[in-house]
A and B are shown apart, each in its own frame.
Chain A
Amino acid sequence: MATVERVTSGGIGDSVLRKEDRKFVTGEGRYVDDLKLPGMLHGAFVRSSFGHARIVSIDASAALAMPGVHAVLTHATLPVVTGVLSASNPGGDVRHPEQAVLAKEFARYVGEPVAMVIADDRYLASDAVNAVHVEYEPLPVVVDAEQALAPGAPLVHAEYDSNLCKTLESITDGFDAALAKAPRKVTLRVHNQRVTPMPMETRGCIGDWSNSTGEVTLYTSTQVAHFVRTFISIVCGTSEAKVRVVTPDVGGGFGAKLNTYREEFAVCAASKVVGRPVKWIEDRTENAVATIHGRDQTQYYEAGVAENGRILALKLDAIQNNGAYNQLLTPSISHLTLFMVPGCYDIQDVSITIRQAFTNTTPTDAYRGAGRPEATHGIERLLDAIADELGLDPVEVRRTNFITEFPYASATGLSYDSGDYAATMDVALGHADYAGFEARRAESKQNGRYRGIGLSTYVEVCGLAPSAVTAALGIGAPGWEHSTVRLHPTGKATVITGTSPHGQGHATSWSQIAQTELGIPFEDVEVIHGDTAFQPYGLGTYGSRSLAVGGIALYRSLGKVREKARELAAHLLECSVDDLEWTGTSWQVKGSPDRAKTIQELAYAGWTAATLPEGIEPVLEATTFHDPPNFTFPFGTHICEVEIDPTTGRIEILQYTAVDDCGNVINPMIVDGQVHGGIIQGLGQALFEETVYADDGQMRTPTLVEYLVPSAADVPPMSLHRTTTPSPSNPLGVKGIGEAGTIAASAAIVNAAVDALSVLGIRHIEMPMQPARIWKLIEEAKS
């Protein structure tokens, strides 16, 4: 890829350095923990130390006797009116067990909040937590989802007759016949392990309830401020119009902050009790148990295949571990898996069943990729298993099965917008020197090492979401997005966005779009977000939706302002609007550069309102609520090359090549950053990360000593490239890139490792591929 020059100002397509970075790299970002309100107290939670137990009694007398401890609240004394809500399928064919804000009678996972301490400072609050005595009666525990669905398993929720939350099904009419007709059958079991999102900034919030006005302000580290406001009003029993949610700078989310959590309700309710603001900052070990986890899906694939590798029928039976409760979107995450089971392959006969189970573990929910990595990892592993079984090249099996015509109606009900999967794969094969691989494999063999190469040809669905689709899925929330563009008398612009950046660089990208579409210089645009008091409802940032939905909302508002400016210009220049042309920064009479009005002049004229055309209101300002007509479908090919040392089992990634197609690009540097980070997050899952529970429900990976997040030193050489296939679904032709790297990476890495060890007869490896496991596989294969 040609080196793109980085600039400090620019429009669409420029690699503009991020305008928000100065404050972050100089330590001037303002996170929740930086906020100190007058009179503020500090909360801490007593959390269950059992995977499953009845709470016999809670004795807070010793804690309450400590000077500086203001209150110890329990389910009985916390003033809320309902439990935690889920947006997934409310009232539909899904079990939604009650999730009290503080545990009511039963604790169902280690870390479940049982009581809340309010004290003068955080240290005292922690000491007081240790002084609260909770008597538990331990109950039988189940942590594994398959075991939870087996007959006779301990019930996580005694009010149900099983641990089944919901079954998702999509079976085409022709599936049985197609499978029966297929000459070859290939089966594969894949476990997509449980992982922890681990944003650098843990969660944290401050509740500030005014007992005199009934107004409540919540400062919280979230991706979805408006969702939180709606749910605070319902759970705490107050008017939504009295609730203000403020999102300061957010240090990463990865889906973990696409949620509404018990602690957010608890700080508001606690503030009401003590009459002072209450802050809670999650610590790292709390984060391991109290913030949602991701993945934890076990998949059983069966493919009916022709001798040439063409897939005629595809079956997936999967079990998803939901954890102990449904969080905001828990039951919907594996629906995204279901959508993408066929991947980028033309498979019209499918049978997909995903059973969701409750277990005595922390709830799972959206984690970067949210359901799609499970689908991609599975199908990309399966493609290699098919190639292995039939003795074909994995590249050719992919080519044989690729979807080639767009729009494409998938067997799971989606309409893929655009793509050219073979072209992208060919670019990647070239950059990775796939043709020269066998020589490199031979060289490694000489040195006693196994070398392998693996592909992941992914497609994902993002730009969440058309509201009609979310409604059809039973999600009680829409998928549109808001923007407001406001021109000030001095010609500067404020962009208010309903998206909720927490690392993505919206302030920069949105300013670039404004410069290109409205002619306001990049540096004259301020992007603000994250305060429900002044901005219209916004849906937030998740599902690689910000640009494809929020960016289009912005594009439309910019267009509205530009057209209003045109009417104003025609009035001031005493001509017809049809006589005007847009120069990029001004409206001018066609062919007469001396008769023109710049956008800044028009902003001033609109504000002074000294003379306005008939029917035109003062001020250049416009608002848009944009509901996307379809999802977008980014795709690409990632190729990983590894070498394995059989003496230790260590896998070294020698080269990682990625060719991504996310449609048109606003800022190439930001896209590269998303791909880099996404790949590393996928690499983390492939090689290092796993959230492990013991059978008794205790977590074995509660700190960063046991839970291994990749460090900078673990980053392999990466070679990034792009093809460009614009999306026809939106006027900017953009798709989304926030999750693609993570969705693609794990399969490429595992496929490479399996390829390396295929000479030993090894045809599958589960993640994380830790050295001990690889060494054992090699030893067993040799003996």
Chain B
Amino acid sequence: MIPSALSYTKAGTLDEALAAVAAGARPLAGGQSLVPMMRLRLAAPEGLVDLGGLAELVGICEDGDELAVGAMTTHRSVAADPQILASCHVVAQAASGVGSLVIRNRGTIGGSLGHADPHADLPAALLAAGGAVIVRSSRGERRIEADDLVTSYLTTSLASDELITQVRLPKGAARSAYAKFHRRAIDWSIVGVGVTIGSAGTRVAVTGVGDRPLRATGFEDVINAGGSLDEAVAQAGTGMSPLDDLDGSAEYKLHLVGVLARQAYTEASGR
């Protein structure tokens, strides 16, 4: 539980942060996942650049048909924001269930998405919503759609000099919900399912069943073709191969995908 030696700088401006990241420093957002990993020496960055002083990365505002959420906005702020609750409910609901209140007060949406833990809720919620992130480097800015963000365990498609600065949430994701199953209130999801019933169809994303959040295409195909919810639930785990571990067997987790997809879909339908 003793981290290895490292250098620490607190960025005063976004440009300073980008320069530090480009030089190899690991960005420190809320620290709720990274710091425990460092204490276990599962992560041993040589340098950290603390984003905690960058007010420009905090806040939520409307921007066309999307909501723009600063990457350093805390889970608690996301969960309580009236605009997100009203127009992209699945993300607010996922944020409201992350860890404990103490963790939600510190953990950030950008940090969670950039960390890309395979049991995290926000990446799946963003995927279900069909959102995106804006990433920046000294080379410029680009947009990464949620479908393309997480590539593997704790790995994203960001280049090594890029930083998530903003999260884009579609305002058309009002009919949406997030359902999760975990053992204690403060635990990671064993399985979590986000559902958005949008004008272009239903999107369903699942956490905890692979190396990254996965679209439940089996469920989506049935529902989008006008099939019944029971049929969709039966197909919810298609193509997913979760691991057997202390949380339960692969069979159990696949079963949970169906249970939670039903729950989230039903809840979203009523919204």
- Taking beta carbons and an 8 Å cutoff, which residues of A are in contact with B? 44, 122-123, 126-127, 283-286, 647-650, 688, 692, 700-701, 703, 705-706, 708, 710-711, 713-714, 770-772, 775-776
Let me know if B248 and A770 touch, CB within 8 A.
yes
The answer to whether B246 has its CB under 8 Å from any CB of chain A is yes
Let me know if B259 and A771 touch, CB within 8 A.
no
Question: Which residues of B, 165-195, contact A by the 8 Å Cβ criterion?
Answer: 181, 183-188
Let me know if A771 and B248 touch, CB within 8 A.
yes
The contact string, 1 if C-beta is below 8 Å from chain A, for chain B 1-17, is 11111000000000000
Let me know if A775 and B185 touch, CB within 8 A.
no
Using A647-B259, A772-B247, A772-B248 as known contacts, say yes or no to A126 and B2 having CB atoms under 8 A apart: yes
Using A711-B186, A714-B185, A775-B255 as known contacts, say yes or no to A122 and B2 having CB atoms under 8 A apart: yes
The answer to whether B150 has its CB under 8 Å from any CB of chain A is no
What is the count of residue pairs linking A and B with beta-carbon distances less than 8 angstroms? Answer: 60
Using A123-B2, A285-B40 as known contacts, say yes or no to A713 and B184 having CB atoms under 8 A apart: yes
Selected A-B contacts with CB under 8 Å, 7 pairs: A710-B184, A711-B185, A713-B186, A770-B183, A770-B248, A771-B181, A775-B255
In the bound complex, CA of A39 to CA of B40 (Å): 28
Q: Could you say which of A688, A703, A714, A776 contacts B249, with CB atoms under 8 Å apart?
A: A776
Let me know if B181 and A648 touch, CB within 8 A.
yes
Name the residue of chain A whose CB is nearest to the CB of B255. Answer: A775
Q: Could you say which of A123, A688, A706 contacts B5, with CB atoms under 8 Å apart?
A: A123
CB distance from A704 to the nearest CB of B (A): 9
Question: Which residues of B, 217-271, contact A by the 8 Å Cβ criterion?
Answer: 246-249, 252, 255-256, 259
Let me know if B246 and A701 touch, CB within 8 A.
yes
Chain B residues lying within 8 Å of A705, measured Cβ to Cβ, are 187-188
The answer to whether B151 has its CB under 8 Å from any CB of chain A is no
Chain A residues lying within 8 Å of B252, measured Cβ to Cβ, are 649, 772, 775-776
In the bound complex, CA of A706 to CA of B252 (Å): 18
Let me know if B249 and A708 touch, CB within 8 A.
no
CB distance from B264 to the nearest CB of A (A): 14
Question: Which residues of B, 1-55, contact A by the 8 Å Cβ criterion?
Answer: 1-5, 40
Chain A residues lying within 8 Å of B187, measured Cβ to Cβ, are 705, 708
Using A127-B5, A647-B259, A648-B256 as known contacts, say yes or no to A692 and B246 having CB atoms under 8 A apart: yes
Let me know if B4 and A708 touch, CB within 8 A.
no
The answer to whether B100 has its CB under 8 Å from any CB of chain A is yes
Q: Could you say which of A648, A701, A703 contacts B259, with CB atoms under 8 Å apart?
A: A648
CB distance from B93 to the nearest CB of A (A): 17
Name the residue of chain B whose CB is nearest to the CB of A768. Answer: B183
Using A127-B5, A284-B1, A772-B249 as known contacts, say yes or no to A711 and B259 having CB atoms under 8 A apart: no
Chain A residues lying within 8 Å of B2, measured Cβ to Cβ, are 44, 122-123, 126, 283
Name the residue of chain B whose CB is nearest to the CB of A122. Answer: B2
Name the residue of chain B whose CB is nearest to the CB of A127. Answer: B4
Chain A residues lying within 8 Å of B259, measured Cβ to Cβ, are 647-648
Chain A residues lying within 8 Å of B184, measured Cβ to Cβ, are 688, 708, 710-711, 713-714
Using A705-B188, A708-B184, A713-B185 as known contacts, say yes or no to A700 and B5 having CB atoms under 8 A apart: no
Chain A residues lying within 8 Å of B1, measured Cβ to Cβ, are 283-286
Chain A residues lying within 8 Å of B256, measured Cβ to Cβ, are 648
Let me know if B247 and A703 touch, CB within 8 A.
no
Chain A residues lying within 8 Å of B246, measured Cβ to Cβ, are 692, 700-701, 706
Name the residue of chain A whose CB is nearest to the CB of B247. Answer: A772
Let me know if B40 and A688 touch, CB within 8 A.
no
In the bound complex, CA of A771 to CA of B100 (Å): 21
In the bound complex, CA of A703 to CA of B39 (Å): 11
Chain A residues lying within 8 Å of B4, measured Cβ to Cβ, are 123, 126-127
CB distance from A411 to the nearest CB of B (A): 40
Q: Could you say which of B3, B100, B183, B188 contacts A688, with CB atoms under 8 Å apart?
A: B183
Name the residue of chain A whose CB is nearest to the CB of B187. Answer: A708
CB distance from A712 to the nearest CB of B (A): 8
Number of residues on chain B facing chain A (CB within 8 A): 22
Question: Which residues of B, 183-209, contact A by the 8 Å Cβ criterion?
Answer: 183-188
CB distance from B236 to the nearest CB of A (A): 13
Chain B residues lying within 8 Å of A650, measured Cβ to Cβ, are 181
Known: A284-B1, A714-B185. 5 other contacts (CB 8 A): A123-B2, A283-B2, A705-B187, A706-B246, A711-B100
The 8 closest A-B pairs by CB, nearest first: A772-B248, A283-B1, A713-B185, A126-B2, A772-B252, A647-B259, A711-B186, A714-B184
Chain A residues lying within 8 Å of B185, measured Cβ to Cβ, are 711, 713-714
Chain B residues lying within 8 Å of A649, measured Cβ to Cβ, are 252
Chain B residues lying within 8 Å of A772, measured Cβ to Cβ, are 247-249, 252
Name the residue of chain A whose CB is nearest to the CB of B2. Answer: A126
Name the residue of chain A whose CB is nearest to the CB of B258. Answer: A647
Chain B residues lying within 8 Å of A127, measured Cβ to Cβ, are 4-5
CB distance from A552 to the nearest CB of B (A): 40
Chain A residues lying within 8 Å of B181, measured Cβ to Cβ, are 648, 650, 771
In the bound complex, CA of A705 to CA of B256 (Å): 20
Let me know if B183 and A708 touch, CB within 8 A.
yes
CB distance from A96 to the nearest CB of B (A): 32
Chain A residues lying within 8 Å of B100, measured Cβ to Cβ, are 711, 713
In the bound complex, CA of A139 to CA of B248 (Å): 30
Name the residue of chain B whose CB is nearest to the CB of A283. Answer: B1
Chain A residues lying within 8 Å of B248, measured Cβ to Cβ, are 770-772, 775
Name the residue of chain A whose CB is nearest to the CB of B260. Answer: A648
Name the residue of chain A whose CB is nearest to the CB of B181. Answer: A648
In the bound complex, CA of A127 to CA of B2 (Å): 9
CB distance from A130 to the nearest CB of B (A): 8
In the bound complex, CA of A647 to CA of B181 (Å): 11
In the bound complex, CA of A286 to CA of B248 (Å): 26
Chain A residues lying within 8 Å of B3, measured Cβ to Cβ, are 123
In the bound complex, CA of A126 to CA of B5 (Å): 10
In the bound complex, CA of A39 to CA of B239 (Å): 61
Scoring B3, B40, B188 by chain A CB atoms within 10 A of each residue's CB, the highest score goes to B40
CB distance from A121 to the nearest CB of B (A): 10
CB distance from A132 to the nearest CB of B (A): 15
CB distance from A342 to the nearest CB of B (A): 35
Chain A residues lying within 8 Å of B186, measured Cβ to Cβ, are 711, 713
Scoring A648, A692, A776 by chain B CB atoms within 10 A of each residue's CB, the highest score goes to A648
CB distance from A246 to the nearest CB of B (A): 25
Chain A residues lying within 8 Å of B188, measured Cβ to Cβ, are 705
CB distance from A709 to the nearest CB of B (A): 8
Name the residue of chain B whose CB is nearest to the CB of A776. Answer: B252
Chain B residues lying within 8 Å of A285, measured Cβ to Cβ, are 1, 40
Name the residue of chain A whose CB is nearest to the CB of B252. Answer: A772
CB distance from A297 to the nearest CB of B (A): 21
Scoring B181, B183, B247 by chain A CB atoms within 10 A of each residue's CB, the highest score goes to B183
Chain B residues lying within 8 Å of A700, measured Cβ to Cβ, are 246
Chain A residues lying within 8 Å of B255, measured Cβ to Cβ, are 775
CB distance from A465 to the nearest CB of B (A): 36
Name the residue of chain A whose CB is nearest to the CB of B191. Answer: A648
In the bound complex, CA of A448 to CA of B181 (Å): 18
In the bound complex, CA of A772 to CA of B248 (Å): 5
In the bound complex, CA of A706 to CA of B190 (Å): 12
In the bound complex, CA of A714 to CA of B184 (Å): 6
In the bound complex, CA of A688 to CA of B187 (Å): 12
Question: Which residues of B, 136-169, contact A by the 8 Å Cβ criterion?
Answer: none
CB distance from A449 to the nearest CB of B (A): 14
Chain A residues lying within 8 Å of B5, measured Cβ to Cβ, are 123, 127
In the bound complex, CA of A126 to CA of B2 (Å): 7
Chain B residues lying within 8 Å of A286, measured Cβ to Cβ, are 1
CB distance from A199 to the nearest CB of B (A): 15
Name the residue of chain B whose CB is nearest to the CB of A125. Answer: B2
CB distance from B104 to the nearest CB of A (A): 13
In the bound complex, CA of A647 to CA of B248 (Å): 14
In the bound complex, CA of A713 to CA of B247 (Å): 19
Chain B residues lying within 8 Å of A710, measured Cβ to Cβ, are 184
Name the residue of chain A whose CB is nearest to the CB of B186. Answer: A711
Chain A residues lying within 8 Å of B183, measured Cβ to Cβ, are 688, 708, 770-771
In the bound complex, CA of A692 to CA of B185 (Å): 22
Chain B residues lying within 8 Å of A714, measured Cβ to Cβ, are 184-185
CB distance from B36 to the nearest CB of A (A): 8
